[in-house]
Structure 1
């Protein structure tokens, strides 16, 4: 199934990935969920090492999204900073600590959806995430 996320959503995704990797977010995976969900086009899943790093990645993404003119609809999970969700309408960003990303396995839940190619400067890929070898 070809990717069908809007160009706008893909552009926001790439902006978010660059911002996140500048703050040591890694393992970026962009999933085109537009054919499965009417709520959003893209789930961007990122990993950060600890709660402080999660907050830094979230701050960077929020700043970049604001600079791109995107309006955040919701933010959940920042107080514990284990799994933070940022909802920008066409893009939903998930920033998780390693253990939580492995446990919840968002990529496994959405494995039937196509992935969106990320820029070369997006940092380490999914192979940097513990337990991701199952993703193939």
Structure 2
């Protein structure tokens, strides 16, 4: 089983939203073979808590425009690692220190990467 077309569409929208708010290291994985609860993960990071919040807000707004509301949002108070669960996809926006420490991409490295659109740019400093 692979991620649904709708999940891929949501991944692309979330990645674009993160890119528009200058997110770093934007990547996505098809986790549908490993997890029954979601099809894909989107990972993005930012150098400070304020930018993490800005990215999270933009992702939520963009997916809401597509008719998707988050089922759950966790970690917002600390602003270091916010998880937004949309059902089909889960978006992780992390402060760059948390991203380096937890290294989710190493944990999910055996899952296929989802190719992101050419207009998605990881804004590295």
Deviations 1:107-133 (A, max 9, x none): 1001110000000111028xx49xxxx
Q: Distance in 1 between matches of 2:41 and 2:67?
A: 19
Shift of 1:80: 0.6
What RMSD, in angstroms, separates the aligned Cα atoms of the two structures?
1.5
Shift of 1:26: 2.0
1:15 to 5, 9, 13: 13
Moved over 3 A (4+): none
Q: Distance in 2 between matches of 1:86 and 1:44?
A: 10
Q: Which residue of 2 aligns with 1:97?
A: 95
Q: Which residue of 2 aligns with 1:76?
A: 74
1:88 to 86, 89, 102: 86
- Structure 1: tracts of 5 or more residues without a match: 130-136
Q: Which residue of 2 aligns with 1:28?
A: 26
- Structure 2: tracts of 5 or more residues without a match: none
SS in structure 1 of the partner of residue 119 of structure 2: helix
Q: Which residue of 2 aligns with 1:6?
A: 4
Contact 2:22 2:122 survives alignment (8 Å): no
Tell me, yes or no, if structure 1 residue 41 matches structure 2 residue 39.
yes
How many correspondences in the alignment? Answer: 125
Larger helix fraction of residues: 1
Q: Distance in 2 between matches of 1:82 and 1:124?
A: 18
Report the TM-score, using the length of structure 1 for normalisation.
Answer: 0.88
Deviations 1:52-84 (A, max 9, x none): 000000010000010011121000001111000
